[in-house]
Structure 1
Amino acid sequence: MRVILAQPRGFCAGVVRAIEIVDRALVKHGAPVYVRHEIVHNRHVVDTLRDKGARFVEELDEVPADAVTIFSAHGVARSVEREAQARQLHAIDATCPLVIKVHNQGRQYAASGRIVILIGHAGHPEVVGTMGQIPGRVILVQNEAEVAQLDLAADTPLAYVTQTTLSVDDTRGIIAALERRFHDLVGPDTRDICYATQNRQSAVRELATQVDVLLVIGAPNSSNSNRLREIGTESGVPSFLIADGSELDPAWVRDAAVVGITAGASAPEAMVEDVLAALRRLGPVEVSTMTGREETAQFRLPAELAGVTVA
């Protein structure tokens, strides 16, 4: 069996930063530190950090007074920030800088008197946080059909921002539908959409032309991982989302000469190796990596953790 690994795949800079924040906070402050929501959407990452002393909660009322509390990479609403301050929690913000950029853009649009359209998925933690960061009216739009249903005049001053785990390709049709309906619409340059999401999706589209089956490594609640699987399916390739090698069904690859593997932005490379090990248990495997974009982005850590060393 030939296996081709997507390039790029796996951790993005925002995920690396968020995990490092938890690791360094544990070194500096000792266990436990509390993390509101999963730091990133990956069970293996969460379990590893939990073993080190991180405690994951959904709401701040689960956190003891004065405790170190970390906001996940997805970001939180202003109301959560105010609650942490009122309770005098030692809050550390692990929100991805690209998510913060969306928050800032949305606030600027709202301050100029525009209604903000947020393109994203209902209930996703990033969407919940973004809607809670932008003052004034924010309307969530998930698809082109919802654009058609907007009860707004054609000359309404509007602006749009997007969930970062959507790509240019994901949002292009929705933006075009908004532009057709509304005459006073502004939005960020498409280059502002998360580079990692776009890069991973572009790599999967190319990989799908070379393989018989696609395995996407990631969590079922990971938006970007699910989208990678969907792209494989849309490309006509049987595609499966799995967390690790234990979830591999041998029947999926029994008749495949070439298997493609990618990983969502919150999936560690160790899980790629775990899936490769599962494939090797089925027979000989020849592994290669496709030519792709090299990512060099690094995001600065919070100042209080910059000098902390993790063993």
Structure 2
Amino acid sequence: MDTLPQLEIILCAPRGFCAGVDRAIQIVELALEKYGAPVYVRHEIVHNKYVVDGLKAKGAVFVEELDEIPDTEAPVVFSAHGVPKSVPLDASARKMFFLDATCPLVSKVHVEAERHHAAGHEIVLIGHKGHPEVVGTMGQLPQGAISLVETVADAEAFEPRDPANLAFVTQTTLSVDDTAEIVGVLQRRFPQVTGPHKEDICYATTNRQEAVKQVAPEVDAMIVVGAPNSSNSMRLVEVAERSGCAKSALVQRASEIDWSLFSGIKRLGITAGASAPEALVDEIIDAFAAHYKISVSSRVTARENIAFNVPKALRVPAS
């Protein structure tokens, strides 16, 4: 007799890999196919240990800085988060062959920052201090050209050199709601502030947060599959909690599930950050299937069909 308790699982969609992450992983894999191992990668290509370990097994070597790489003709890949301008300059000076896996939507923010700087604007970057994307964006311009604002309190306290000559850009993986609040403060305090032509927070971050907002009020618990150093994954946990799901947990692998958190639940929401592969979602569903009699459905709140080209050096010529 089947004595397992019933559990309804609702999968948020979209979830998991975005186009920028997909492209970055492809760049490393195609480089390994074309040039053989090793392929050096500066910083985790995307913030997911499972992905990084899989690429290591194929011959990728991960470093934090270029000076850890010996003199080599092997390719060097820059991660999806983007790098300061000094990094490709350093790589060129060392005659390295490098491939830039920066997400095109991060590159868009870099270009915006440069345009604002060229127009003489003082720039505010809304983002998280120390995150590689923020380090990369601030590193596009001379030191002091960009001021970092992390919170509403920072925005209230910020004193520009010239309030009439201010522009802002944002990290691509922030909480949509938090960012809107910070932007609101800047616009109230500095009505002439210039914003991006198009939202800097990327489509994938926005879509994944929107899906969680819709599912979270209906479930007893929410699992976000992702890594603690993944900004967009951490934001999904916060969004779930704010949207009415008090039991919201970040889980990297099924082995990490704290089963005491999920005792007595009837409905579970599952999503995945933009750098988490679907294989890990499947692994977590399988783990719950061992404890519950599960039924699984999807809640689709948006369709994504965006894809980004890999660099020319890696493209297969048309036959």
* Fold-level similarity (TM above 0.5): yes
User: Does 2:22 align with 1:13?
Assistant: no
- Give the 5 Å matches for 1:232-243: 232-237=240-245, 238-243=247-252
Partner of 1:94: 101
State the Cα deviation string for residues 208-239 of structure 1 (Å, max 9, x = none): 02211000100011000001011111123110
Specify the code of the residue in structure 2 equivalent to 1:260: G
2:9 alignment partner AA: V
Q: What is the CA distance between 1:16 and its match in structure 2? A: 0.2
Q: Do 1:116 and 1:161's aligned partners in 2 also have CA atoms closer than 8 Å?
A: yes
Match of 1:301 among 303, 306, 310: 310
Question: Is 1:248 the counterpart of 2:257 in the alignment?
Answer: yes
Q: Kindly indicate whether the alpha-carbon contact (under 8 Å) linking 2:176 and 2:206 is maintained by their aligned counterparts in 1.
A: yes
- Displacement of 1:244 in angstroms is 1.4
Q: What is the rounded CA distance, in whole Å, between the counterparts of 2:270 and 2:54 in structure 1?
A: 23
What are the residue-to-residue correspondences of 1:184-199 with 2, within 5 Å? 184-199=192-207
Unaligned runs of 5+ in 1: none
1:47 aligned residue? 53
Note the alpha carbon deviations across 1:89-128, whole angstroms, 9 max, x for none. 1110000000000000000000000011000000000000
SS of the counterpart of 1:6?
A: strand
Determine the C-alpha separation between the residues in 2 that align with 1:51 and 1:308. 27
CA positional deviation for 1:37? 0.2
Amino acid at match of 1:73: A
1:169 Cα deviation after fit? 2.1
Aligned to 1:263: 272
What are the equivalent positions in structure 2 for 1:1-311 lying under 5 Å apart? 1-66=7-72, 67-135=74-142, 137-152=145-160, 155-237=163-245, 238-307=247-316
Amino acid at match of 2:218: Q
Alignment TM-score, normalising by the size of structure 1: 0.96
What is the alpha-carbon distance in structure 2 between the residues aligned to residue 227 and residue 308 of structure 1? 40
Alignment check: 8 A CA contact 2:122 2:160 kept: no
Q: Deviation of residue 152 (structure 1)?
A: 2.3
- The 1:154/1:111 distance shift into structure 2, 3 A limit, reads closer
- TM-score by length of structure 2 reads 0.94
Q: Deviations over 1:65-112 (max 9, x none)?
A: 233100000000001111101111111000000000000000000000
> Could you tell me how far apart the structure 1 residues matched to 2:55 and 2:238 are?
29
Secondary structure in 1 matching 2:296? strand
What letter matches 2:150 in structure 1?
Answer: Q
Post-superposition shift, 1:168? Answer: 3.3
* Structure 1 residues 114 and 94: CA distance shift in structure 2, 3 A: same
State the SS of the aligned residue for 1:209: helix
Structure 2: give runs of 5+ residues left out of the alignment: 1-6
Give 3-state SS (helix, strand or coil) of 1:208's partner. Answer: helix
* Count of matched residue positions in the alignment of Structure 1 and Structure 2: 309
Deviates more, 1:152-161 or 1:221-230: 152-161
Q: Deviations over 1:155-183 (max 9, x none)?
A: 34111000000143231111111111114
Native 8 Å contact 1:245 1:278 kept in 2 = yes
Task: Decide which moves more: 69-78 or 128-137.
Answer: 128-137
SS in 1 for 2:135: helix
Contact 2:172 2:202 in 1 (8 A): yes
Structure 2 Cα separation of the partners of residues 97 and 30 of structure 1: 26
Q: 1:153 to 1:93 in 2, by over 3 A?
A: closer
What residue identity is the alignment partner of 1:248? I
Change (3 A) 1:254 1:155: closer
Partner SS, residue 130 of structure 1: helix
Query: What amino acid maps onto 2:266 in structure 1?
Result: A
